[in-house]
Structure 1
Amino acid sequence: MMSDHRGQVRVEQSPKRVRAYLGGELVFDTIRPSLVWEIPHYPAYYIPADDVVAKLDVTDTVTHSPSRGDAQHFTVRTSRGEAVDAAWRYPDSPLEALRDLVRFDWPAMDSWFEEDEEVIVHPRSPYSRVDTLASSRHVRVLIDGVAVADSTRPVLLFETGLPTRYYVPQTDVRTELLTPTDKETQCPYKGT
């Protein structure tokens, strides 16, 4: 496995088949993706330019990264979709491993797949682990001194490098005290 570290950026080959779609059409299909850690907590996929089947039209946008160099941006086009500035390359990057790769803006694509399973938000890190365990711990959730949840049957979620999360059965929650909101969270491990 190739690994290249420079500054805060780490590059590793992934053995997974990765695909993305735009307008219901294939943008790329590769069995040679690279995982690139630009933000320390999770990786991004970089795709070999030879595996991109969608049209990439150069835009006037150029961005600079101190560790990756200057990125030339592209509009991604399929016959049924277009995403402006949704792909970029670092052709003269100080990181040689990035020079022939294309990075795609995750939310600009309609869907992403690892093998035949859809992946949301970002790729899963091969170095993170998520475990859920049933527990008999007593968990109370207080808001302004009022108990909104009280349970002795939570499920504890342990994720590498993150605080433990506690999930309680809905029957142990006083839902009448809660107000629905439009807020939605997403996680590539736990879903939406």
Structure 2
Amino acid sequence: MNEHARGAVRVEQGPKRVRCYLAGRLVADTRRPFLVWEIPYYPAYYIPLADVVADLKPVEKVEHSPSRGTARLFDVRVDGAAAESAAKRYPDSPLEELRELVRFDWAAMDEWLEEDEPVYTHPRDPYKRVDILASSRQVRVEVDGVTVADSTRPHILFETGLPPRYYLPLPDVRTELLAPSATQS
């Protein structure tokens, strides 16, 4: 099947931490977002239900997708703020990966973050760009039980097809433990 054909859906887990907010309040925070290409041009984020902190109140509406199945719609509520019909779930989807995920309407949320950087309009397509994002993830490097570096302010390099690489600020590295490697000919 042509992955770019209309109606074809591609699903894969992404490596970035993703958060979304409504009225300045956290709706979801995940380190295991799913990228779902509902259309061929760019993906949508689907968040594991376990990583949603907002209340999802079911509404009477449903939507049907030939490829994803029937979506149940939910109002999103966080601490006095609400977005009507702004979340959907496909609990009986023919695509098993979607069954425990939630898709939030992008425009209904006030802010989306990848790591600690705002994202506008839609998620970035990991196959069409290289990103270096500031993050607040804790990164610790140990060698034989000795902490060589410990940081909560890394920059993370995301490159197509490669695992993420972490770059740490020099003050967060115990440089006295580092030695240049011997050059081999």
User: Superposition pairs for residues 30-49 of structure 1, below 5 Å?
Assistant: 30-49=30-49
Note the C-alpha offset of 1:39: 0.7
Note the C-alpha offset of 1:79: 1.0
Q: Which runs of 5+ in 2 are unaligned?
A: 131-185
Q: Report if aligned partners of 1:30, 1:47 keep a CA contact under 8 Å in 2.
A: yes
What are the superposed Cα offsets for residues 2-37 of structure 1, whole Å, 9 maximum, x if unpaired? Answer: xx99x5100010010000000110000000100000
Q: Does 1:115 align with 2:111?
A: no
Aligned-pair identity in percent equals: 67
Q: 1 CA distance for matches of 2:104 and 2:129?
A: 25
Q: 2 CA distance for matches of 1:88 and 1:25?
A: 19
What are the superposed Cα offsets for residues 54-93 of structure 1, whole Å, 9 maximum, x if unpaired? Answer: 0000001100000000000000001131100000000000
Q: 1 CA distance for matches of 2:102 and 2:34?
A: 10
Structure 1 stretches of 4+ moved >6 Å: none
Q: Report if aligned partners of 1:24, 1:80 keep a CA contact under 8 Å in 2.
A: no
Q: Does 1:73 align with 2:73?
A: yes
Residue type of the alignment partner of 2:124: R
1:106 maps to what in 2?
A: 106
Residue type of the alignment partner of 2:63: T
User: Superposition pairs for residues 1-192 of structure 1, below 5 Å?
Assistant: 8-129=8-129
Residue type of the alignment partner of 1:120: Y
Residue type of the alignment partner of 2:29: D
Q: What is the DSSP-based 3-state SS (H/G/I as helix, E as strand, rest coil) of the residue aligned with 1:82? A: strand
Q: What is the DSSP-based 3-state SS (H/G/I as helix, E as strand, rest coil) of the residue aligned with 2:97? A: helix
Residue type of the alignment partner of 1:70: T
Q: Report if aligned partners of 1:25, 1:80 keep a CA contact under 8 Å in 2.
A: no
Q: What is the DSSP-based 3-state SS (H/G/I as helix, E as strand, rest coil) of the residue aligned with 1:59? A: strand
Q: 2 CA distance for matches of 1:24 and 1:72?
A: 25
Alpha-carbon RMSD across the aligned residues, in angstroms, is 1.8
Q: 2 CA distance for matches of 1:106 and 1:67?
A: 20
Superposition TM-score, scaled by structure 2 size: 0.66
Superposition TM-score, scaled by structure 1 size: 0.64
Residue type of the alignment partner of 2:65: S
1:179 maps to what in 2?
A: none
Note the C-alpha offset of 1:129: 3.4
